[in-house]
Chains A and B, each alone.
Chain A
Amino acid sequence: MRLDRSGGDVAPSLSFTFDGETVRARKGETVAAALLANDIRLVGRSFKYHRPRGIWSAGPEEPNALITLGRGAAQTPNQRATVQEVYEGLEVSSQNRWPSLKTDLLSVNDLAAPFLGAGFYYKTFMWPRAFWERVYEPVIRRAAGLGALSGAPDQEPYEKAYAHCDLLVIGSGPSGLMAALVAARAGSDVIVAEQDHALGGRLLAEVEEIDGAPAADWVAAAVAELEAAPNVRVMSRTTVTGVYDQGTYGAIERTAMHVADPGAAPRQTFWRIVAKASILASGAIERGIAFANNDRPGVMAAGAVRAYANRWGVSPGKSVTVFANNDDAHRTARDLAAAGVTVAAVIDPRADAQAIGDYPLFSGAQVTGTTGRLGLTDITIRDASGKDQSVWTDCLAVSGGWNPSVHLTCHMNGRPVWNEDLAAFVPAPDAVPGLFPAGSADGAQSTADCLRTGAEAAIAALEALGQTTEAPALPKAENGFTGHTPFWLVPGKKRAWLDMANDVTVKDVKLAAQENFASVEHMKRYTTQGMAPDQGKNSNVAALAILADATGRTIPQTGTTTFRPPFAPVPLSAMGAGARGKGFAPERFTTSHTATEDLGAPFVEAGLWYRPSYYPRAGETTWRQSCDREVQMVRNAVGVADVSTLGKIDIQGPDAAALLDFVYTNMFSTLKVGKVRYGLMLREDGHVMDDGTTARLGETHYVMTTTTAAAGQVMQHLDFVLQALRPDWDVRIASATEQWAQFAVAGPKARALLDVVLDGPIDWAAWPFMSCGNIGVAGVPGRLFRISFSGEEGFEVAVPARYGEALYRLLLSQASVLGGGPYGMEALNVLRIEKGFITHSEIHGRVTAFDIGMERMISAKKDCIGKTMAARPGLLDPARERLVGLKPTGAVKELTAGAHLFNMGAEAVRLEDQGYITSVCYSPTLGSFLGLGFLKSGPDRIGETVQMVDHLRGVKTEVEVCNPVFFDPEGGRMRG
């Protein structure tokens, strides 16, 4: 209910819906505050037993009140009602219930609870054997999960952002604000990150004074000072979620989750903040007490109850009771009573507890049970004399003390340490380099201590950054309410909840101990304690205490608690912002891309590049028709293909030749200026890394070509050789892949085409096979290489990339006059298989020079990368599978890439395996399917017939083992 407070709370001005019912709310309220204001206590159903659940907390640690926002593509499951701010028209739905929140059929699980204890599923569902996958698991799976996805892709915008600062202050309670003020005044570059929309932390939820005025006034002044400072950036609605190495922090900002119509604003933003130092002022999280049926809607954290009252003017109940082991929780009774709410009882297990206001106190007493099916109606109090009485109450505020929010200090494997005085874990010293815990996150218990430790932490952090600051005058503040005595559970036979989100009870933890799951990690995994959406923030310490008790050990002997990132769940949408659709990876286009699109060619991806597959012409209905025509066009007239995607590395300097001799197996120092040579490159382990041609343009100037795929790897390799192995060499390398547009012009009419395009006249006698040089191309300085990957007389002509498109269009228009035209990757593949040229289908990382018949290319006259290791016995084993050509000779005339080879008459089983096919094509030139493949001792078996067995399609055929060069083996056509 709403409290009638002086100070003029505005009337509820907006409305939203909860399960379709309209709820009136005030601006700035959370969904939880608004629901409680409207006396709605039942908010969700628990994970396993489908128990009715309400709101436990007032912050991001909420274990119970998980809700779904929106509908359709905007539907977002598993949001915390205690964090989500209301806005006009917001749609909120409860989760994990069917058909309705009040009548949930799966609450039948709760009746079966005696049989569904910790780990029961490991002990059953095994018979009959097939039933696990056919019956049991499908049934379990159907019941799984909390909220649901809509099934529609998210179309809303998200963002990623980056920030750098001297000091990151995490949290803006008294310690965070004080630390930020000290650093701001010292001139540091400060970021203050606060998960709430308002700064102030616990000071917003308490009735207390700082420097003689309401704490809220001090907060307002501090915030105003920080916001006015040019060196401070205040980030509200921003939760620091993780700590990573070297001062890198992840944070999620709910940028526009509180706005009805955010337009183009990102809904959430994932921040990566790099800070030289940080202050952890993340506060503390209240823990509960385990007692029978302590999970009903209406049972809440005591600090949360007074936060709702003091901050939002909402009382979670009409008749409130308090069950706590500490002085701090008595403030809940005091504040609610002062606000006019009935406080029916305060139950404190400490015999010496004192009341701090006008309310009935049961000292030395315990709450032994609760009733109320869909919400709390009564509690049973066992007083100091052991007598039970029932008290009517609709809100029980519970506190078992406070756990410092040490989460971020665990992210780099720091283990928090047990502090016996506080009965809590506090951050280990130096758990994260450069992170300084302060305030209640470090165990401070009063506002005065928070202010003091905040200032001290800031001074220490600044000192670590080499800045000195004077200690500020500390404001006077509250310094009481620190008394407490550890109290974890009320003994009893009924179920007492620890992890409410995962339905883990005290009994489950005790059963784990009984079955020797006595390590904390075993207990957690066996019971699922701490694995739920709240990640154990509310219950891990209590579960550890109970395990310690059950195993007869102290808490430090039993173990510690640890937390992995993220502190609060991070939406994948923000972490992966920008990755939807084409945003996932850049696309690289050649200069001929638009012209190729104009011709209707389908593209195929090649690394990040896109290359044309084939160029369909009118009347062609299959890719094979286009491909066959393009192959014949190249063989009979002239074809043009963009080969700019191949890596081009410019190599210059007196030792350029020495570098090439070292990275290639064969010699390049002997290559004459104006000549090109094919080179084979090995990895140091003796396997083939890459191949390509390298041209010598001048005495000290080479241009190396790599395959499209390996361009980056080869560049890195050359960098390594030059910097790490031969820094004495005087040579420089640079990638020139994107600087040059390069086109293959191949076929018997290649010269005729180039005659029109090149600045002429050209003396072709001066351009023999494997020659190269500078040349004018339609008035532009370019390069010409006479090389061939098709087996025809071929050239590659290169111009600076900005002229690429113009040259491509010119080449195509002139080619068409000669009966030629463009050819795509499919035709290129056929042309190269006909010639037995290899690609990465063959040099797939597992082959050696020996395997591809190039062992003689490893020069005996010099060392090179990979030479020594290529001589290992395993790499020269004659039984290795080695490259051959394959031609079908049986009834089936087709070959299959990937199919395996067997000796004639042998059974087609693994032990008889002789090899496999890597590439196949239909050759219109030879009128046959052709294949390349690897066959045991292949080169020694030319002329033999083996069988190919395609197990997937059930096809068998005889194939002849041939020399891999099927077409023009003498190479007469290439040489012209």
Chain B
Amino acid sequence: MKRYSAFAVAREGLRHHAGWERAWKSPAPKPSYDVIIVGAGGHGLATAYYLGKNFGITNVAVIEKGWLGGGNTGRNTTIIRSNYLQDPSAAIYEKARSLYEDLSQDLNYNVMFSPRGVMMLAQTHHEIRGYQRTAHANALQGVETEFIGPERVKELCPIIETRGPRYPVLGALWQPRGGTARHDAVAWGYARACSDMGMDIIQKCEVTGVTQEGGQVTGVETTKGHIGCTKLGIVVAGHSGVLADMAGFRLPIESVALQALVSEPIKPCMDVVVMANTVHGYMSQSDKGEMVIGGGADGYNNYTQRGSFHHIEETVRALIETFPIISRLKMLRMWGGIVDMTGDRSPIISPTPLGNTFINCGWGTGGFKAIPGSGWATAEMIARGTPGPLAAEFGLNRFREGRFIDESVAAGVAH
């Protein structure tokens, strides 16, 4: 693989870009592999990448029903943060965040990780208590956050109306090294690096069945024929239930659509990422100038990758309340991504009832920010056959046993 560099860009610029190679190959599948990863989204590609990089396992195929990076990796609001309350969550999200710091250099692909800071606004006294508690927990977890007052909020993001008459900003949980990255580039960068290690990324290849013998997986049936494997990793987000069904087990997951929208591009007006959970809206400005706005998840089980109106409307209402100056902007595009939600809003990284078969799913609304950490932990689990410290508490059995890692914010105010 030819390396990307400023020099390469200059060289190619002078010869009509004739020398750029394919970013990744498009091979036909081999009869079998050591490991098959189903799903060439960010998590699947990162898993393959760290199998190669950390464990030297490169006889790997990543099989994708559509086009690589075409699921949630390319349909999110690109926020990266790790300010979670529960220890296992903070650990894996912080691992991911710290890997993002060097990911461009690691992959030789500019994923534009931009640690411009993430603030989560506290607009009720209940939220102040919650975020202060998180700040204390983060201090223990080694996640750099602080609870800041409204003056500092205004300083960091002048376009916030901190004295709003309905929900004034009372403070915020501030993670200075949180931020955003270019979502497509994360998938493309991993794909290019995997391809370069000799792994096969097989797009437009749908898995139609899982084959097994004596309780051990032997391969997958696909629209391009049977492909054998020693180990199987299922990393398909919203479609996990379908794959689990093929492998003969069920999951504690429901798929819902997560709503987002972007505005037309405007001149820079905010540097940081702001999340306002009381009013259900979050926003950042992309390097192109678009305001990237995330809303809530549709509260109901669905697979439609499209925007549903009433959530977006509520999100827009919320943002006008908190950022009154943006109301003259126009919504350019709205969409929905299908996310797989568990009951405790934490992921599953786990061996499954089928031998040598592993699953990574249930990231809910937190998938993009977790990609490198999730890939790291999943690769470790697949390579060793058992979850390592990052994944240990995200097992499938925790639901049955009542050992939740509950990240859902319990609604509530004092008596």
Question: Which residues of A are at the interface with B, using a C-beta cutoff of 8 A?
Answer: 47, 75-78, 114-115, 117, 120-127, 129, 132-133, 137, 140-142, 144-154, 242, 244-245, 248, 250, 272, 411-413, 493, 507, 511, 514-519, 521-522, 525-526, 528, 533, 535, 564-566, 569-573, 575-576, 578-585, 587, 604-607, 646, 685-686, 707-710, 713, 789, 825, 828-829, 832, 839-841, 843-846, 869, 872-875, 896-900, 908-910, 913, 916, 950-952
Pick the 4 closest A-B CB pairs, nearest first: A845-B410, A145-B289, A840-B412, A874-B402
Residues of B within 8 A of A872 (CB): 400-402
B321 within 8 A of A: yes
| Number of chain B interface residues as a range | 35 or more
Contact among A149, A244, A522, A564 for B269, CB-based, below 8 A: A149
Residues of B within 8 A of A518 (CB): 26
Map CB proximity to A onto B33-76 as digits: 1 under 8 Å, 0 otherwise: 00000000000000000000000000000000001011000100
- A909 and B139 CA atoms in complex are apart in Å by 9
- A154 and B374 CA atoms in complex are apart in Å by 43
- A789 and B415 CA atoms in complex are apart in Å by 10
Residues of B within 8 A of A535 (CB): 332-333
- A242 and B327 CA atoms in complex are apart in Å by 20
- A493 and B137 CA atoms in complex are apart in Å by 60
Contacting pair B289 A570 (CB below 8 A):
no
4 extra interface residue pairs, beta carbon distance < 8 Å, beyond A244-B308, A533-B264: A127-B5, A127-B105, A154-B328, A950-B136
Contacting pair B267 A145 (CB below 8 A):
yes
Contact among B67, B279, B320, B333 for A522, CB-based, below 8 A: B67
B208 within 8 A of A: no
Contacting pair A122 B415 (CB below 8 A):
no
- A182 and B299 CA atoms in complex are apart in Å by 41
Closest to B329 in A: A572
Contact among A117, A129, A149 for B326, CB-based, below 8 A: A149
Contacting pair B334 A565 (CB below 8 A):
yes
- A918 and B12 CA atoms in complex are apart in Å by 61
Contacting pair A873 B307 (CB below 8 A):
no
Residues of B within 8 A of A900 (CB): 136-137, 140
Contact among B105, B146, B319 for A126, CB-based, below 8 A: B105
Contacting pair B320 A129 (CB below 8 A):
no
Question: Given A533-B264, A573-B320, are A606 and B413 neighbors across the interface (CB < 8 Å)?
Answer: yes
Contacting pair A149 B67 (CB below 8 A):
no
Contact among B67, B139, B182, B316 for A519, CB-based, below 8 A: B67
Contacting pair A126 B104 (CB below 8 A):
yes
Contacting pair A133 B306 (CB below 8 A):
no
Residues of A within 8 A of B355 (CB): none
B84 within 8 A of A: no
**Majority SS at the chain B contact face:** loop
Q: Name 22 A/B residue pairs within 8 A (Cβ), A-sorted.
A: A77-B328, A78-B330, A123-B9, A126-B105, A144-B287, A413-B304, A507-B16, A515-B23, A516-B26, A533-B265, A533-B332, A565-B306, A569-B330, A572-B320, A576-B319, A583-B166, A584-B317, A844-B412, A873-B401, A874-B403, A898-B129, A951-B140
Closest to A513 in B: B22
Residues of A within 8 A of B305 (CB): 413
Closest to B335 in A: A564
B222 within 8 A of A: no
Question: Given A122-B185, A244-B309, A576-B320, are A581 and B166 neighbors across the interface (CB < 8 Å)?
Answer: yes
Contact among B141, B189, B263, B343 for A572, CB-based, below 8 A: B263
- A840 and B133 CA atoms in complex are apart in Å by 14
CB distance from A518 to the nearest CB of B (A): 8
Residues of B within 8 A of A579 (CB): 316-318, 320-321
- A240 and B100 CA atoms in complex are apart in Å by 42
**Majority SS at the chain A contact face:** loop
B30 within 8 A of A: no
Contacting pair A511 B139 (CB below 8 A):
no
Contacting pair B185 A141 (CB below 8 A):
no
B196 within 8 A of A: no
Contacting pair A77 B266 (CB below 8 A):
yes
Closest to A566 in B: B331
B165 within 8 A of A: yes
Residues of B within 8 A of A120 (CB): 9
- A928 and B316 CA atoms in complex are apart in Å by 47
Contacting pair A875 B334 (CB below 8 A):
no
Map CB proximity to A onto B9-29 as digits: 1 under 8 Å, 0 otherwise: 110011011001111111000
Residues of B within 8 A of A149 (CB): 266-267, 269, 325-326, 328-329
- A76 and B327 CA atoms in complex are apart in Å by 9
Residues of B within 8 A of A916 (CB): 133, 136-137
Question: Given A153-B161, A582-B166, A584-B167, are A840 and B114 neighbors across the interface (CB < 8 Å)?
Answer: no
Contacting pair A152 B114 (CB below 8 A):
no
B215 within 8 A of A: no
- A150 and B324 CA atoms in complex are apart in Å by 11
Residues of A within 8 A of B136 (CB): 896, 898-900, 916, 950-952
Residues of B within 8 A of A115 (CB): 9-10, 13
Q: Which of B362-398 contact A (CB under 8 A)?
A: 398
- A173 and B399 CA atoms in complex are apart in Å by 59
- A122 and B5 CA atoms in complex are apart in Å by 9
Residues of B within 8 A of A580 (CB): 320-321, 324, 327
Residues of B within 8 A of A525 (CB): 74, 184
Contacting pair A121 B110 (CB below 8 A):
yes
Contacting pair B325 A154 (CB below 8 A):
yes
CB distance from B253 to the nearest CB of A (A): 16
Residues of B within 8 A of A76 (CB): 328
- A711 and B40 CA atoms in complex are apart in Å by 45
- A507 and B18 CA atoms in complex are apart in Å by 11
- A137 and B182 CA atoms in complex are apart in Å by 12
Residues of B within 8 A of A571 (CB): 327-331
- A570 and B263 CA atoms in complex are apart in Å by 9
Residues of B within 8 A of A125 (CB): 6, 110
Closest to A530 in B: B333
- A18 and B159 CA atoms in complex are apart in Å by 28
Residues of B within 8 A of A493 (CB): 16
- A565 and B330 CA atoms in complex are apart in Å by 12
Contacting pair A825 B414 (CB below 8 A):
yes
B244 within 8 A of A: no
Map CB proximity to A onto B179-216 as digits: 1 under 8 Å, 0 otherwise: 00010110011000000000000010000000000000
Contacting pair A874 B401 (CB below 8 A):
yes
B31 within 8 A of A: no
- A579 and B327 CA atoms in complex are apart in Å by 10
Contacting pair A140 B328 (CB below 8 A):
no
Closest to B131 in A: A898
- A145 and B164 CA atoms in complex are apart in Å by 27
Residues of A within 8 A of B25 (CB): 516
Closest to A155 in B: B324
CB distance from B21 to the nearest CB of A (A): 7
- A122 and B332 CA atoms in complex are apart in Å by 25
- A580 and B271 CA atoms in complex are apart in Å by 23
Map CB proximity to A onto B255-295 as digits: 1 under 8 Å, 0 otherwise: 00000000111111101000000010000011111000000
B249 within 8 A of A: no
Contacting pair B330 A142 (CB below 8 A):
no
Contacting pair A250 B331 (CB below 8 A):
no
Contacting pair B166 A573 (CB below 8 A):
no
- A438 and B406 CA atoms in complex are apart in Å by 52
Q: Which of B299-351 contact A (CB under 8 A)?
A: 304-309, 312-313, 316-321, 324-335, 343
Map CB proximity to A onto B95-128 as digits: 1 under 8 Å, 0 otherwise: 0000000101100111011111000000011100
CB distance from A504 to the nearest CB of B (A): 13
- A585 and B114 CA atoms in complex are apart in Å by 34
Contacting pair A909 B140 (CB below 8 A):
yes
Contact among B10, B112, B139 for A137, CB-based, below 8 A: B112
Residues of A within 8 A of B17 (CB): 117, 507, 511, 514
Closest to A840 in B: B412
Residues of A within 8 A of B129 (CB): 841, 897-898
Contact among B14, B110, B312, B414 for A829, CB-based, below 8 A: B414
Contacting pair A140 B412 (CB below 8 A):
no
Residues of B within 8 A of A154 (CB): 324-325, 327-328
